Amino acid sequence: MKAVVCTAYGSPEVLQLAALAKPSPKDNEILIKIHATAVTIADCRLRKADPFAVRFFFGFFKPRRPVLGGVLSGEVEAIGKNVRQFKVGDLVFGSSFPILSAYAEYICLPETGNLAIKPESMNHDEAAALLFGSMTALHFLRKVDIRPGQKVLIYGASGAVGSAAVQIAKYFGAEVTGVCSTTNLEMVKSLGADHVIDYTKTDFSKNGPQYEVIFETVNKTPYASCVAALKSGGTLILGAGLLGAMLRGVWTSLTSNKKVITGMATETAEIVRFLKKMAEEGKIKGVIDRKYPIEQIAEAHAYVDKGHKKGNVIVGLI
């Protein structure tokens, strides 16, 4: 089968197309023929070992799992003898984390993995685009317990996590403000944002405390600005925060009446099923910026590295 192998940590050129053996499902696994995957910020960080601590978990000198890719949409081609939840021919979507390996034509995953039947209203590209950002956004926004009418600001509202966070916060009843660049204002409005701020023209933090929740999704705005824009008792979510911001968050939570939430998002089958329900209700969609064939995955990574993608970059295997 065709697969993309990450031969070392570094630039997109370390990704090489290779021919690997097609896997066979174990008794509790399903074999999925992958139709679409996505190049996520997480994939790029793993490829670059950024931050350096990545090496302690995924291999010090090169990735221990050479085939990256954490989300997928495809068709069940074979099942193990003990599988009961899925059957051959099912169209499924989900997360392959921590196994990764979605940059390939086939993957074997346990039937109890982070999978669900694909929403009928979505094609494989759209289903793959829904996953990464939405799983992260849902994980963090559930921790806040948003109440209808709360003012929520999403910084980086045009990215994979931000575009999903706008839609999910609206689903929970929030009054949503999205912060993005000039070119993405209309797109963020179309996702349901009540207000949009062009960060190239306006500093959202200059008008005093306004928001019960601020979700910083891209690690591109000063920490102090986010804290300053929070109302008393408000919560700051650092969806892409690195160690320094995490430590400042702990200090803020301990020494003030403002709370900071950070850490890694949890991916579960329940989250995938919840997103499927939202999609079938027409309450969420995945935003697709570009699509590349698997043979051009290095170019896809180079584009994501620029940091200006809208929503998701999809890689097609069919």
Same domain, 116 and 10: yes
Which CATH number characterizes residue 10's domain? Answer: 3.90.180.10
pLDDT recorded at residue 133 = 95
Write the CB contacts of 163 (distance below 8 Å, at least 6 apart in sequence): 133, 157, 187, 188, 191, 287, 310, 311
Whether 16 and 119 map to the same domain: the answer is yes
Confidence at 248, pLDDT banded by 50, 70, 90: confident
Strand partners, 178: 154, 196
Reported as a single tens digit per residue, the pLDDT across 79-100 is 999 999 999 999 999 999 989 9
Contact 59, 5 (CB under 8 A): no
Of all residues in the chain, what percent carry a pLDDT higher than 70? 100
The mean pLDDT value for 191-199 works out to 97
Q: Where are the beta strands (DSSP E) in 29-123?
A: 29-39, 71-79, 91-95, 106-110, 114-117
Q: Give the model's confidence band at 244: pLDDT under 50 very low, under 70 low, under 90 confident, else very high.
A: confident
Mean pLDDT of 185-206: 96
pLDDT at 79: 98
Same domain for 33 and 55, yes or no, is: yes
Residues 278, 243: one domain?
A: no
The pLDDT assigned to 51 comes to 87
pLDDT tens for 252-298 read 998 899 999 998 899 999 999 999 999 999 999 999 999 999 999 99
Q: Are residues 18 and 50 in the same domain?
A: yes
Query: 153-179 pLDDT, tens per residue?
Result: 999 999 999 999 999 999 999 999 999
* Same structural domain, 215 and 274: no
| Overall domain count for the chain | 2
Mean pLDDT for 105-117 is 98
The average pLDDT across 21-43 equals: 97
> 108 pairs with which residues across the strands?
31
Same domain, 257 and 287: no
Is the pTM here over 0.85, yes or no?
yes
Let me know whether 151 and 177 are in one domain: yes
Domain of 272 in residue numbering reads as 2-130+267-316
Residues 225, 229, 231: CA angle, nearest 5 degrees: 145
Final residue before a domain boundary, out of 245, 261, 277: 261
Amino acid at 79: I
pLDDT at 53: 87
Say what the pLDDT of residue 246 is: 79
Cβ-proximal residues to 56 (8 Å cutoff; 6+ apart), any chain: none
Is 20 in the same domain as 107?
yes
What CATH number did the domain enclosing 218 receive? 3.40.50.720
**122 and 10 inside one domain:** yes
Domain identity same for 286 and 308: yes
Bridge partners of residue 95, in order along the sequence: 71, 114
Residue bearing the bigger pLDDT, 98 or 215: 215
**pLDDT tens digits, one per residue of 47-80:** 999 989 889 989 999 999 999 999 999 999 999 9
Supply the pLDDT for residue 318. Answer: 83
Burial class (CB in 10 A: 0-12, 13-18, 19+), 52: exposed
Is pLDDT at 245 greater than 80 in this prediction? no
Tens digits of residue pLDDT in 120-155: 999 999 999 999 999 999 999 999 989 999 999 999
Residue carrying structure tokens 């892409």: 240
> Do 312 and 297 share a domain, yes or no?
yes
pLDDT of residue 208: 81
As a whole number, mean pLDDT of residues 307-313 equals 94
